[in-house]
Structure 1
Amino acid sequence: MAKSPLGQAVHACFEQKLVSLPISQIDFLRPVAPKVRRSAKYARIAASIDEVGIIEPPVVARRSPNNDRYLLLDGHLRVDVLASRGAEHVACLLATDDEAFTYNKRISRLAAVQEHRMILKAIEDGASEQRIARALNIDVQTLRAKKRMLAGVCPEAVDLLKDRSIAEGLFRVLKRMQPLRQIEAVELMIAMDRFTITYAEALLAATPQNQLVADDQPKQVRGLTPEQMALMERESSQLERELRVAERSYGPDHMHLVVARGYLGRLLGNARVVRYLAQQHPEFLAEFQRIIEGDTAAA
């Protein structure tokens, strides 16, 4: 048991050492369907295990203190691949609590930027391109494209996207913009919580010609006419101005909403007030109730 900076006891969520368990004693939360075994993701995991073994150990929890069976919380495909290879044991991370319903939500899957950095680090450490490609179940040309993925993208935009699960094609769109516009585009993606290539191309269409890398060449976006792109540029500029204004006022507005919500909650705790509103202003009562019962952040 560790201590927090405040001196409070902190319970570890996992055993400190990996444990080797018989695969026959591990119960899956869900079966691995034949369709999943034919998927590209499954093939990639299998190729990685064949080449370099298990990198991220599966996570299990004991079914009960007096039971020799374990519940698989994370790593279904990895364990299934090992079983198909005839393996009898697997090294697992043993959870001290059963987090079957929440564990997967806490896992941070490998983002595109992180994968790019992992590839560069593996090459720096002496791994050959061929071996890395086999481990990722891709060809060498695709691996080289992943190596070049961030060339032409400014560090500030990369840093904003470093933990996001996004398509690699999004970076190809950003490369057509100048650095400052790249940052603006990524900030808009974050504000709108949209990281699709389609949305990136829409932002490209709304980018003025002088903010593109090849500003001496006519901007071309598939499916859009020059007139439509000009309209998108004007509307995008207006949207960005409105977004900046909203960002400046969001904090005070949210604070006012929280205070008002608390006041209305106390007000409607008075039976006489509720009775009066119900008789004289039922429409106000309905709105007040909607406000105090709703999510503050979403209201």
Structure 2
Amino acid sequence: MKSAKATTVGTGESTSLLTATYKPSQSAIVPLKSLPEGARESRKFAQVLSSIKAIGLVEAPVVIADTRSAGTWYLLDGHLRLEALKELGFAEVECLVAIDDDTYTTTSGSTGWPRSRSTG
């Protein structure tokens, strides 16, 4: 079973990410958005694939736990990287774990979460 591990992880002083990482199976990660049509055929996707093959995963995807379903994780950042890892046969991927869902907002101020995940 292939497993991906980020080789570098940067965190700032005021961060809402744990310095530790978690390695969920890809089947436990729920993307919050779909890749655009043609993304897998794009030059950028080819570059991500090539980079992972050559030097490994450089920037870990970011996930947050689904508080209503143990063992399920929402993918906040790294959708293209996760898709590339799937194509390369990786069953697990080391992820940064967000601990504060306020860190994921759109420019309109929406959290981007599925409506059923409201924490109010």
TM-score (norm 2): 0.70
Which residue of structure 1 aligns with residue 34 of structure 2?
31
Q: Distance in 2 between matches of 1:11 and 1:45?
A: 29
> What is the total number of aligned residue pairs between the two structures?
94
Say yes or no: does 1:101 pair with 2:102: no
Deviations 1:130-156 (A, max 9, x none): xxxxxxxxxxxxxxxxxxxxxxxxxxx
Say yes or no: does 1:89 pair with 2:97: no
Deviations 1:205-252 (A, max 9, x none): xxxxxxxxxxxxxxxxxxxxxxxxxxxxxxxxxxxxxxxxxxxxxxxx
Deviation (angstroms), 1:21: 1.1
The structure in which a higher percent of residues are strand is: 2
Match among 22, 31, 37 for residue 25 of structure 2? 22
Q: Distance in 2 between matches of 1:100 and 1:39?
A: 26
Deviation (angstroms), 1:33: 3.7
Match among 63, 67, 74 for residue 64 of structure 1? 67
User: Are the aligned partners of 1:60 and 1:73 in contact in 2 as well (CA < 8 Å)?
Assistant: yes
Deviation (angstroms), 1:34: 4.4
Which residue of structure 1 aligns with residue 43 of structure 2?
40
Unaligned runs of 5+ in 1: 1-9, 104-299
What is the identity, as a one-letter code, of the residue corresponding to 2:88? R
What is the identity, as a one-letter code, of the residue corresponding to 1:50? K
What is the identity, as a one-letter code, of the residue corresponding to 2:76? L
Deviation (angstroms), 1:65: 6.2
Q: 1:16 to 1:35 in 2, by over 3 A?
A: same
Greater relative contact order, per chain length (Cα 8 Å cut-off, separation 6+) = 2
Query: Identity of aligned pairs, percent?
Result: 32
Superposed, which structure 2 residues align to 1:81-160 within 5 Å? 81-98=84-101, 99-102=103-106
Unaligned runs of 5+ in 2: 1-12, 108-120
What is the identity, as a one-letter code, of the residue corresponding to 2:26? I
Deviation (angstroms), 1:28: 0.6
Q: Distance in 2 between matches of 1:29 and 1:40?
A: 23
Partner SS, residue 82 of structure 1:
helix
Q: 1:34 to 1:50 in 2, by over 3 A?
A: farther
What is the identity, as a one-letter code, of the residue corresponding to 1:18? T
Say yes or no: does 1:52 pair with 2:55: yes
User: Are the aligned partners of 1:12 and 1:96 in contact in 2 as well (CA < 8 Å)?
Assistant: no
CA RMSD, Structure 1 to Structure 2 (Å): 2.2
Partner SS, residue 21 of structure 1:
coil
Deviations 1:101-129 (A, max 9, x none): 249xxxxxxxxxxxxxxxxxxxxxxxxxx
What is the identity, as a one-letter code, of the residue corresponding to 1:100? Y
Which residue of structure 2 aligns with residue 280 of structure 1?
none
For the pair shown, the structure with the greater C-alpha radius of gyration is 1
Superposed, which structure 2 residues align to 1:108-257 within 5 Å? none
TM-score (norm 1): 0.29
What is the identity, as a one-letter code, of the residue corresponding to 2:89? G
